[in-house]
Amino acid sequence: MRLTSTPAFGRAVAAILCGFACSLAAAQDYKMPPDSERCPSRWGAGDQKGAANMMNPARVLAATKLIKTGEVFDLGELLSPDPKEMFLVDGRQFSMYTKNWPIVPGGRQVNEELVITELGQVGTQIDAFAHQMWGDSFYNCFKWADIATRGGFKKLGAENIGGLMTRGVLIDVAGAKGVDMLPTSYVITPEDLQQALDKSHLKINPGDAVLIRTGWTKIIGKENNRYGSANAGLGIAAGQWLIKQDPMMVAADNCCVEVRPSQPGHSLPLHAMFIIQHGIFLLENLDLEKLAAAGATEFAFVVQPLKIKGATGAPIAPMAIR
């Protein structure tokens, strides 16, 4: 983190430290409701699309009206076997082997590659609803015994997400606090989110894509262990606040959207809350630095997951267009 010794910086650090202490003191608890209370989902029994049901022509047309300059921001990280270019969590791998063919002088040549990886769960990616379950129960109370196979999930796979385009809102929490990067394991609170929104004079509308900037992508390839185990991120209270805003998806520039380690007594509670309980998509490992530097806080957001049948997630190369 770049530090500058100024009175404004001192106030920013004090605000962060106060926010950290207050967020711990005011941390809310989370408990998954029983199946009888959370199912069927708001979109009906048997639904597999969750918040993707909010996609419609009117929402797409509204997003296009936010495009004023045609400037495009590529928000995806590289997929690379080089650990200096790509972060991998929990022992996942990304191995690529180039298949070279004998050279035929004067003739057409072809090259291709073999990639071995947990494709749906590496790099910049979106979690499908098959990725998380509570006990043996998934989103909309699909059961593991009914949908799990060695060849992929019969329901809730990444192929059900589809292409998504909607209004995108950048909540630059680090920028609102005047720092390049939030501190280790900083718990983002509802107050932090509202502070950043107020600074941009924006509010979240139902069906939006909400992008959270922590500044943590700066250490990908430099401090990968820290990036994957101690990142700043959303706390339980912030997650509950966001759900009340009714977003289509929530994305962040860290490994898990939510803070790591998880708050005491929990294991990635926002994954359970967003994916299993509410059917809201989480997008991880976005590069939001150029977007923030350009002051682009409202834009058309476009993402197309690969249609991998039965997969727990899919790689994405999201774009913000303003």
Across residues 218-222, what is the average pLDDT?
A: 91
In terms of DSSP bridges, do strands 72-74 and 209-213 run parallel, antiparallel, or are they unpaired?
Answer: unpaired
The rounded mean pLDDT for the chain is 91
pTM above 0.85, yes or no: yes
Q: What tens digit of pLDDT does each residue of 20-75 get? A: 444 443 447 899 999 999 999 999 999 999 999 999 999 999 999 999 999 999 99
Beta bridge partners of 212: 171, 252
Q: What tens digit of pLDDT does each residue of 274-302 get? A: 999 999 999 999 999 999 999 999 999 99
- Looking at residue 209, its pLDDT comes to 98
DSSP tag of 26: T
3-state secondary structure of 227: helix
Measured CA to CA, the distance from residue 218 to residue 213 in angstroms comes to 11
Q: Which two tokens stand for residue 56?
A: 């419609």
Give the confidence band of 1 by pLDDT, cuts at 50, 70, 90: very low
Q: What tens digit of pLDDT does each residue of 73-93 get? A: 999 998 888 888 878 877 888
DSSP tag of 192: H
Give the confidence band of 17 by pLDDT, cuts at 50, 70, 90: very low
- Looking at residue 101, its pLDDT comes to 82
Which residue ranges make up each domain of the chain? 7-79+121-321
- Looking at residue 83, its pLDDT comes to 85
What are the phi and psi torsion angles at 247 (to 5°)? -75, 160
- Looking at residue 110, its pLDDT comes to 87
Q: Which two tokens stand for residue 112?
A: 């291709």
Which CATH number fits the domain 7-79+121-321, given the four candidates 3.30.230.10, 3.40.50.150, 3.50.30.50, 1.10.10.10? 3.50.30.50
Q: What tens digit of pLDDT does each residue of 140-173 get? A: 999 999 999 999 999 999 999 999 999 999 999 9
How large is the greatest C-alpha to C-alpha distance in the chain, in angstroms?
A: 72
Give the confidence band of 236 by pLDDT, cuts at 50, 70, 90: very high
DSSP tag of 52: G
